[in-house]
Homo-oligomer: A and B are copies of this chain.
Amino acid sequence: MHESSHILKGLKDQGHKFTKVRKLVLDLLIKSPKPLSSPDIQKAFLARKMPVNKTTIYRELAFLKGQGVIRELQFGDNTMRYEVTPDNHHHHIVCINCDKIEDVILEKDLDMEEKAIAQIKNFKILNHSLEFYGICERCQ
């Protein structure tokens, strides 16, 4: 399991500071079963009677993304969401009715496809986004 203190220690060694906001943003993302948006995180701070300016959240997320600690996702609603960079490469399935989100792992990954595309299209492929949309068990 991920441990925020350990990650923060690593960042600190690189000249970054260990702040309450940074720790809580990271803890929220580590504990959340699904990716969170910036507004989600701001609401979580508010619920804990720790109001934080939205600019701070955006900057913190940009920082953690830049450090490779978290990654950015989008699920079709023009809002960025974030999750701790996973060890196991996975994608997501989103219920278009109740917004439930679950991780899914492909039986065969896309490496071969990427190689083929890179060769045909002469692109250097860096990453990809793959999300599935449907109706979850409860909603169908």
Q: Decide if B125 touches A133 in the complex (CB within 8 Å).
A: yes
Q: Decide if B122 touches A137 in the complex (CB within 8 Å).
A: yes
In the assembled complex, A140 has its CB within 8 A of some CB on chain B: yes
* Interface size of A in residues (CB-CB distance below 8 Å): 39
In the assembled complex, A130 has its CB within 8 A of some CB on chain B: yes
Q: Decide if A123 touches B107 in the complex (CB within 8 Å).
A: no
Copies of this chain, complex-wide, total 2
Q: Decide if A135 touches B130 in the complex (CB within 8 Å).
A: no
Assess A76 versus B124: contact at CB under 8 Å? Given A93-B117, A113-B107, A116-B107: no
Q: Decide if A104 touches B78 in the complex (CB within 8 Å).
A: no
Q: Decide if A126 touches B133 in the complex (CB within 8 Å).
A: yes
Most B C-beta atoms less than 10 A away, residue of A131, A134, A135: A134
Of the candidates B93, B95, B125, B133, the one whose C-beta lies within 8 Å of that of A134 is B125
Q: How far is the CA of A97 from the CA of B104 in the complex (A)?
A: 30
Query: What are 18 A-B residue pairs whose CB atoms fall within 8 Å in the complex?
Result: A74-B74, A76-B129, A93-B123, A93-B125, A102-B123, A104-B117, A107-B113, A117-B132, A123-B132, A124-B135, A124-B140, A125-B133, A126-B135, A127-B132, A127-B133, A128-B132, A129-B129, A129-B133
